């Protein structure tokens, strides 16, 4: 199998240098002596090249002196000494991707004592099966590391103590490690990808927060976490019960919990207590399967329960108007429930908005059919439409009224209450459902032609 140097030479040529010697440069007219492909780029990608070692250090250092991003995923590296040899010859590398190289061999003590690599800030170790002692050694050797990827490594527990794990310290019931660790391991780390690991205990996840006290971004999607309670396992229960879910994450701003096993509204309430959390992803929960509702209903209840979260499941920031409407809908939703079923958030919102008059219907779903005025040029027509249709479907149904095909059509939504202050909003996204515009009876949709604008632009050119 080839070395990194050999794979590099196959791709960019064996005789190329990063910078041509000054003595070889012509004085009057520059005539390139080598193909541009012989220049090693600063962003070097050598995936799937069967690389198993670094190669000649002097030649590698000469070629890779200016490389700042190195992607050598999906190769055959198995020994950390070869990875360190690569790092020694690429002193300017800030980003290193080693994903899908089998690096389960432990870093030896002698290797861990080598000089630190102060430039490396992003390290990707997805599906490398790197052991926790090796992760600990790497963190100590990379003081500038800001982003670490440890996804798909089959971790069922977290151990950043730097010691070998004794199997007797693992709980047979929940597979977590019964060793309490709250020591700081790396203060610079801000972003951690931990997706797709079979960790089910939040107590284990909390160890990541204590190890990285300044963590701002954490991705835990596709982990089988069933609750955010710090110590839910009865078999290995200890004095950890006084700790809260958010204690280990004082600076966490972004959290991805998509496709986890969280199944109750209590978990959402625990997320609301994270002090710095601003962006959250909570799709694919069993809770949404048990709670019969539309996507619109779920969003209303989530926005109301999460007062400090600004972006929910991607997209833009939650508007003030939407939050106010969600909180009022939340109050009315629980007004009809027994007092014992009302969450603490209900009483908080009653303190803000007061006790509201009940609506005729407490159904949070938007009105299914509304009457809208459609205007196309000098023609206007009132139609009843289904708000669960998409923009694309609506365009198709308006072809006869407009007199031109949907592919040439532009739609502009006019809110009757905001007509004078906001103006028309273009309905740009074909798959977006109409209810997401908060569309109501009495509003207007203007039909315009893309062709007209094209002709106008050509005439003025």
CA–CA–CA angle 71, 211, 285 (5° rounding): 75
**What does the block give as tokens for 259?**
């496709």
Please count the other Cβ atoms lying within 10 Å of the Cβ belonging to residue 452: 13
pLDDT at 262 (0 to 100): 96
Facing residues of 410 across strands? Answer: 448
Lowest mean pLDDT among 54-63, 234-243, 305-314, 363-372: 234-243
Backbone angles phi, psi at 203, to 5 degrees: -60, -40
Quickly count: other Cβ atoms within 10 Å of residue 40's Cβ. 20
**What domains, with CATH codes, occur in the chain?**
4-13+30-230+243-353 (3.80.10.10), 369-449 (3.10.20.90)
Nearest to 60 by CA among 282, 51, 433, 289: 51
Distance CA 47, CA 217 (A): 27
Return the sign of the alpha-carbon dihedral for residues 61, 64, 67, 72: negative
Could you report the per-residue pLDDT of 411-459, keeping only the tens digit for each? 999 988 777 777 888 998 898 888 888 888 889 999 998 876 554 445 5
Q: How far lies 420's CA from each of 322, 417, 427, 440, in Å?
A: 20, 8, 18, 17
Query: Beta partners for 45?
Result: 71
Residue written as token pair 């971004």: 217
Q: C-alpha distances in angstroms, 78 versus 55, 111, 123, 344? A: 14, 15, 17, 53
Contact 254, 216 (CB under 8 A): yes
Task: Write out the two tokens for 429.
Answer: 């996204």
Q: Are 96 and 87 in contact (CB under 8 A)?
A: yes
Q: What is the pLDDT of residue 16?
A: 47
Most confident among 68-82, 163-177, 407-421 (mean pLDDT) = 68-82
Residue 319: pLDDT band with limits 50, 70, 90: very high
pLDDT band at 20 (very low <50, low <70, confident <90, very high): very low
């Amino acid at each position: 199998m080839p070395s990194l140097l050999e794979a590099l030479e196959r791709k960019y040529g064996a005789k190329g240098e990063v910078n041509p010697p000054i003595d070889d440069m012509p004085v009057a007219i520059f005539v390139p002596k080598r193909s541009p492909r012989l220049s090693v780029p600063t962003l070097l990608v050598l995936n799937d090249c069967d690389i198993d070692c670094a190669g000649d250090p002097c030649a590698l250092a000469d070629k890779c002196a200016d490389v700042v991003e190195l992607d050598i995923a999906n190769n055959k590296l198995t020994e950390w000494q070869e990875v360190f040899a690569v790092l020694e010859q690429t002193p300017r590398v800030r980003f290193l991707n080693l994903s899908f190289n089998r690096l389960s061999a432990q870093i030896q003590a002698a290797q861990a004592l080598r000089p630190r690599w102060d430039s490396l800030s992003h390290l990707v170790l997805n599906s490398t099966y790197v052991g926790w002692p090796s992760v600990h050694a790497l963190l100590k050797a990379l003081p500038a590391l800001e982003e670490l990827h440890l996804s798909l490594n089959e971790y069922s527990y977290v151990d950043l103590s730097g010691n070998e794990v004794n199997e007797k310290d693992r709980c047979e019931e929940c597979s977590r490690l019964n060793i309490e660790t709250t020591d700081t391991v790396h203060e610079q780390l801000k972003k951690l990808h931990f997706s797709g690991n079979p960790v089910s205990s939040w107590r284990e996840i909390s160890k990541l927060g204590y190890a990285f006290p300044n963590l701002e971004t954490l991705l835990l999607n596709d982990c089988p976490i069933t609750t955010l309670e710090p110590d839910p396992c009865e078999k290995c229960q200890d004095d950890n019960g006084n700790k809260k879910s958010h204690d280990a994450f004082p600076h966490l701003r972004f959290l991805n919990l998509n496709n986890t096993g969280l199944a109750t509204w209590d978990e959402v309430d625990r997320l609301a207590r994270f002090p710095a959390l601003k962006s959250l992803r909570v799709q694919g929960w069993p809770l949404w399967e048990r709670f019969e509702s539309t996507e619109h209903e779920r969003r209303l209840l989530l926005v109301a329960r999460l007062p400090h979260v600004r972006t929910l499941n991607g997209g833009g920031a939650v508007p003030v108007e939407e939050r106010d409407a969600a909180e009022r809908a939340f109050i009315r939703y629980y007004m009809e429930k027994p007092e014992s079923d009302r969450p603490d958030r209900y009483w908080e919102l009653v303190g803000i908005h007061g006790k509201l008059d009940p609506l005729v219907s407490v159904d949070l779903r938007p009105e299914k059919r509304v009457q809208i005025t459609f205007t196309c040029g000098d023609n206007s027509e009132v139609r009843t439409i289904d708000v669960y249709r998409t923009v694309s479907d609506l365009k198709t149904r308006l072809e006869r009224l407009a007199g031109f095909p949907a592919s040439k059509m532009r739609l502009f939504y006019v809110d009757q209450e905001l007509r004078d202050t906001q103006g028309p909003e273009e309905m740009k996204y074909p798959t977006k459902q109409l209810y997401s515009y908060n569309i109501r009876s009495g509003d207007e949709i203007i039909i315009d032609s893309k062709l007209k604008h094209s002709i106008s632009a050509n005439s003025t050119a």
